[in-house]
Amino acid sequence: MASLSPRSTSPEMRSALPSRCRPRVPPRGALLASLLCGGALLAPAGQVRAATLPLLSINVNPSSITVAGALQSGAVNVVSTITGLPEASSILLQLNPGVSAEEVYAFLGSSAANDPNNIERYGAIVFDAEVSASARSEIQTQLLPGTYLALAGAGAGPPRLHASFTVPATAAPAVMPTPQATIRTIDFGFRGPSVLHHGELVRFQNDGFLVHMDIAARTRSRSSAGRLLGALRAGTEQQIDKLVSGPPAAFTGPLSQGAYQQETITATPGWYVQVSLMNTQDGRDDAFLGMERIIRILK
């Protein structure tokens, strides 16, 4: 998930984040933080597997990340697990033709990575999940033929763990199940139903030109959600402190244009403020540009 600005992130929201995602100085910034903290607000993603889809497994431990299973184009279930760490990220980056892994690693360590949209020179973020030791992450996505990097990290700084793999074209690729609802991020806002249901299969898709994320901050009531909406737009942190109630729901971490993930809604029913907490190319906050709205999750 994006590095979060202290102006727009309350202590309570920060406390729900893994340590690498909590704001540091300078605020916001590196693609690194965007990649490492994807989907990290710790209401776990869907855990219900669509048995008909091929399985791609991502395994992370303190010294390595490995990818195994369905290395083929088409729809897949991506199952991420970790051992020996309390939490870690798992990210899939599809490289542009002719781009090497070494070029990407050099980019991630450069100042150019301060703008997450610069990743388009090298590839696209097509998958982004946060995994805790207590629950594996299982999310549906679509892989196109090409070369990929699997990235993982825990704690501040660049992803220490990486692996490359190739996805060949498949004669009969698996097809994504039809979701029960679709939510799209655009520049700048959300499109789709404002009421979701626990157990529902939902597609979260980035239709914007910029890299966007999709999370939802939980509140105690519809009235509290309205006040939180205003506080996020105004950046009034003291109000945000009082209005966030419990761990937010992570739908997707930062995704590139056209990327999408499908997952089963497992977040606690209630009122939420859906928001993207990233910076635009000119440094403005997505939340100040209209990327927030009230949604409800029902049983």
Which among 286, 247, 288 has a CA at the least distance from the CA of 40? 247
Mean pLDDT of 105-123: 86
Secondary structure letter of residue 177 according to DSSP: P
Task: Say which CATH architecture domain 178-298 belongs to.
Answer: Sandwich (2.60)
Torsion of CA 61, 63, 69, 75, to 10 degrees: 80
For 191, the token pair is 């499109």
Q: Per-residue pLDDT averaged across 170-178, rounded?
A: 93
Average pLDDT over residues 66-93: 89
Mean pLDDT along residues 175-202? 94
d(C-alpha 213, C-alpha 292), whole Å: 11
Residues 297, 270 contacting (CB under 8 angstroms): yes
Question: Percentage of the chain with pLDDT > 70?
Answer: 76
Per-residue confidence at 289, pLDDT binned at 50, 70, 90?
low
Cβ atoms of residues 79 and 58 within 8 Å: yes
Q: Give the C-alpha separation, 192 to 36, whole Å.
A: 27
Please determine, for residue 48, whether its predicted confidence score (pLDDT) is greater than 70: no
Query: Which of the two residues, 137 and 27, has the higher pLDDT score?
Result: 137
Task: Specify the 3-state DSSP secondary structure of 219.
Answer: strand
Residues 254-269 have a mean pLDDT of: 92
Residue spans of beta strands (DSSP E) within the chain: 55-61, 64-69, 74-82, 87-95, 123-132, 137-143, 146-152, 161-167, 181-186, 189-191, 195-197, 201-206, 212-219, 249-255, 260-264, 270-275, 292-298
Q: What is the pLDDT of residue 243?
A: 87
Q: Measure CA of the first residue to CA of the last residue in the chain; give whole Å.
A: 27
> What percent of the chain has a predicted confidence (pLDDT) above 90?
45
Per-residue model confidence as pLDDT tens digits over 228-252: 888 888 777 777 778 888 777 888 8
Mean pLDDT confidence for 9-36: 34
Instruction: Kindly state the tokens that stand for 241.
Output: 């402190």
The predicted structure's pLDDT at residue 154: 63
Question: What is the pTM for the complete model shown?
Answer: 0.81
Question: Per-residue pLDDT for 271 more than 90?
Answer: yes
